[in-house]
Homo-oligomer: A and B are copies of this chain.
């Protein structure tokens, strides 16, 4: 490990902010060539529908379905995948699904209204989206936990039709993913992927129905396609590299925190794992654990690159300063590995998910604690939220004016509309003035 080093920062140094921003800086690849390819794929699918879908599937997935209809997997295939699971795996998926569902139930938005003295009623109606598309990556990056996390909130919201697309390179399906789709309540599954699947979901083909929103992770082609079809359909956030920030008071076993940092770093070489502590000797102890445990990891190469390039160990004056640094970073995952996490929680404003106390490893949240593992990355927790049931519901304002109420409101609207030079607005309001009421 002589060649391995991890950045050390000290928040009490005057130049800290600049140094921290250098550690955080990440420029996502924005490839003009990919943009052009994806735009071309979308245009083809819009023009040629199923024929384009089949052509791209043959070309990119080396998989040759006999017809567009053959792209659809029957529900029986999902059930068979579920029935074929090892009992321990089935039980674990079942537990995870039940806990994700229980948490999601708390997020459901409800309609409300209130009636004013003159009989005017104001409120908000809440309805589920009609149809949602769920993108699931194929091959080795296919995670059943991701299917549960994206599908269950949509079904809890009441979305009547949840359409999953998943590429099956070489024709091979992933039984874990299909089993997860089965218990999550996915309604239809199509074996397509890439930008062509996103385009088909956004615009519809004869075989694939058009959806109202597309969620789920994907590679750069999928992410680019989602950006390009946004507006035509809704999309979830475009995720950056995964991140963890751990705040420690020095009381947690250094091996535990080293492994928590690894669990983030093993995702990929761009993942970011940062530890903040109030004690330099404790940072040394965790670094020693990192050096000791790293060689025992199956994905040691990825972890080493990730920690060397993007990891950091940060010394702070006290937990207040730790909270200030956390709010600046606005991490996807934040572990408060301290004796009294509730005291610290009130100081945290910006974080996707907060893991409280020494026992709440972030990995528990990735799989089965209940809250969603789809979280804002790259500092976007400053202004956005975890994926939730609310992402699959929408609100409509409801306004029901009584004759008296509209009379009163029309007088105010008329003044303001004329002030803005919009006289048809004013006259439309004025028709609702009941002369006898004035």
A interface vs B, CB < 8 Å? 88-89, 91-93, 95-96, 103, 106-107, 112, 114, 120-122, 124-125, 127, 129-130, 140, 143-145, 176, 212-213, 231, 233-234, 238, 253, 255-256, 259-260, 262-263, 265-267, 297-299, 303, 327, 341-342, 345, 348-357, 359-372, 375, 378, 380-386, 388, 394-403, 405-406, 409-410, 412-413, 415-417, 419-429, 431-432
In angstroms, Cα B405 to Cα A360, docked, is: 9
**Interface contact A413-B357, CB-CB below 8 Å:** no
- The 5 A-B residue pairs whose C-beta atoms are closest, nearest first, are A234-B383, A371-B397, A356-B400, A359-B406, A92-B415
**Interface contact B384-A234, CB-CB below 8 Å:** yes
- Least CB distance from A434 to B in Å reads 9
- Copy tally for this chain in the complex stands at 2
Query: Can you list 7 A-B contacts (CB < 8 A)?
Result: A91-B415, A233-B382, A299-B422, A299-B424, A345-B398, A355-B399, A385-B396
> Contacts A130-B349, A359-B432, A419-B89 hold; do A262 and B424 have CB atoms under 8 A apart?
yes
> Contacts A299-B424, A410-B361 hold; do A349 and B127 have CB atoms under 8 A apart?
yes
Q: Which residues of chain B have C-beta atoms less than 8 A from A355's C-beta?
A: 399
**Interface contact A399-B352, CB-CB below 8 Å:** no
- Least CB distance from A387 to B in Å reads 10
In angstroms, Cα B124 to Cα A375, docked, is: 13
> Contacts A92-B415, A256-B431, A396-B381 hold; do A426 and B122 have CB atoms under 8 A apart?
no
Q: Which residues of chain B have C-beta atoms less than 8 A from A426's C-beta?
A: 363
* A146: nearest chain-B partner, CB-CB: B420
**Interface contact A88-B415, CB-CB below 8 Å:** yes
**Interface contact A395-B388, CB-CB below 8 Å:** yes
Q: Which residues of chain B have C-beta atoms less than 8 A from A419's C-beta?
A: 89, 92, 144, 176
Q: Which residues of chain B have C-beta atoms less than 8 A from A353's C-beta?
A: 396-399
In angstroms, Cα B144 to Cα A416, docked, is: 8
